[in-house]
Amino acid sequence: MRLRYLFTALVLAAAMIQPVSGPGNVAAEAPPPLAVLMACQGEVTVARADGSTVRGTFGMPLAAGDEVRTGKDGGTDILFENGNYISIGTSSSMTVRGSKAQNGKIEPTKPMGDNGFEVAQSYLKLKSAEGTSSIAGLRGDRGEELRAVSPRQTRILDDRPRFMWESDDASAELRLTLYNDTGVLWKSEIDGATELEYPADAPVLVTGITYSWTVETTDPLKFPPLRSKAAFFELISDEERTSLAAALNRIDNDGSLSPISRHVMRASVFFNDDLLADAVFETEKAVNLVPDDTALQSILARLYNEVGRTDEAMAIYDQILDKP
């Protein structure tokens, strides 16, 4: 089974979970937004076309007629449906009309990419995963004594991945086994470690194959023996790697983007290419910049769950639920 199907199911599952009600949430039957807020710092408000005013938050959808306002300490980045994005500084305002900025002092930057808006929207859907159904699923996976952590249910850039796992016994004697579509491809004995880089003299990994790997105990005195659940990964092609590099360069070379938006957009691109481990890394960077942003925390927790870091995912969900 291709990993693409797994991640498509992930996004659909996230979209089916009812988000926590509050300002900025959109009902399932609402039309696609014309733009979304990608980062908010300080005072940011949105005056809706219907006359209501709400606080601007990360991922908030914007419709025609919505006016985005920033205070003396505020700022925000906005991504439009045509792939353009803009940054709004302090004490400014902009009204959304179609997909173009209408404040004569603010011009859209170069586009993130032809499908940049769709890429970001797919990623932002993960913030709806803060429902109790997701939490219940996480609790059911806890308690494993031996866990394959990375790479897990992801695609990877490097043909020499670093395998990482968690064990309740850090000194355990283990065996890591890598499988391809025909059977065992490679094995390695491990003593008292929790990670291992795929060596240069091991069989070459190629694109188009879904690899799986496990770790298991080999100590004959340890009974019953332990074996982790299988983790899966694929290697992206050279063509995909080139396309990915171009998309990332467009983001990195624009100096007008805030650091938060840059990490979020990079995470969106990685997520779109099923590179979940890299999406986790960029999302962690964004959360570190705005540690109280519940929506970003929810996305990070969902990604943690998908790559096997369930304890960290549960810690975030518990933190979200404990907030007043």
CATH code at position 307: 2.60.40.10
**Domain that residue 255 falls in:** 1-30+112-324
Query: Whole-angstrom Cα distance, residue 68 to residue 80?
Result: 13
Burial of residue 3, with CB atoms counted within 10 A of its CB: 0-12 exposed, 13-18 middle, 19 or more buried: middle
* 74, 210: one domain: no
* 227, 217: one domain: yes
* Mean pLDDT value of segment 212-223: 89
* 184, 293: one domain: yes
Q: Which of 64, 87, 109 lies at the terminal end of a domain, its last residue?
A: 109
Residue type, 3: L
Query: Whole-angstrom Cα distance, residue 100 to residue 234?
Result: 39
- Quick: pLDDT tens for 30-85: 567 888 888 888 899 999 988 899 998 888 889 888 999 999 888 888 888 877 77
* 40, 175: one domain: no
Q: Residues 186, 202: contact at Cβ < 8 Å?
A: yes
* 87, 137: one domain: no
pLDDT at 227 over 80: yes
Assigned token pair, 202:
């091991």
Q: What share of the chain is helix, strand, coil (3-state, %, to 5)?
A: 35, 25, 40
**Contacts for 223 with CB less than 8 Å, ≥ 6 apart:** none
Q: Which of 157, 165, 193 is nearest to 281 (CA)?
A: 157
pTM listed for this prediction = 0.74
* 207, 242: one domain: yes
pLDDT at 190 over 60: yes
H or E element at residue 41: strand 35-41
pLDDT of residue 12: 35
Residue type, 57: T
pLDDT of residue 15: 36
* 305, 168: one domain: yes
- Quick: pLDDT tens for 284-294: 999 999 988 88
Query: Whole-angstrom Cα distance, residue 260 to residue 263?
Result: 5
pLDDT of residue 115: 67
pLDDT of residue 118: 82
Residue with the bigger pLDDT between 82 and 236: it is 236
**Contacts for 292 with CB less than 8 Å, ≥ 6 apart:** none
Q: Which of 192, 195, 150 is nearest to 173 (CA)?
A: 192
* 209, 105: one domain: no
pLDDT at 230 over 90: yes
- Quick: pLDDT tens for 144-158: 688 898 899 899 999
Q: Which of 109, 136, 170 lies at the terminal end of a domain, its last residue?
A: 109
Instruction: Count how many domains the chain has.
Output: 2
pLDDT of residue 30: 56
Query: 285-319 as b/e, with b when 16 or more CB fall inside 10 Å?
Result: bbbebbeebbbbbbbbbbbbbbbbbbebbbebbee
* 42, 11: one domain: no
* Mean pLDDT value of segment 305-312: 82
* Mean pLDDT value of segment 86-110: 65
* 50, 195: one domain: no
* 138, 231: one domain: yes
Percentage of the chain surpassing pLDDT 90? 40
* 186, 272: one domain: yes
Confidence of residue 28 (pLDDT cuts 50, 70, 90): very low
Which of the listed ranges 47-51, 85-89, 274-278 does the model predict with the highest average pLDDT? Answer: 274-278
Query: Whole-angstrom Cα distance, residue 236 to residue 181?
Result: 16
Q: Which of 57, 85, 109 lies at the terminal end of a domain, its last residue?
A: 109
Confidence of residue 224 (pLDDT cuts 50, 70, 90): confident
pLDDT of residue 177: 97
